[in-house]
Amino acid sequence: ACCGHTAKENRLSQSKFRCQVCGYTANADVNGARNILAAGHAVLACGEMVQSGLSLKQEPTEMIQATA
Residue-wise pLDDT for 15-61, tens only, equals 999 999 999 999 999 999 998 998 888 888 876 665 666 666 666 66
**Is residue 28 a part of any domain in this protein?**
yes
CA–CA separation, 32 vs 35, rounded Å?
5
Instruction: Report yes or no on whether pTM surpasses 0.95.
Output: no
Specify if 14 maps to a domain: yes
Range of the domain at 13: 1-47
- Give pLDDT, residue 65: 53
Whether residue 30 lies inside any domain: the answer is yes
Beta bridge partners of 17: 11, 26
| More confident: 18 or 3 | 18
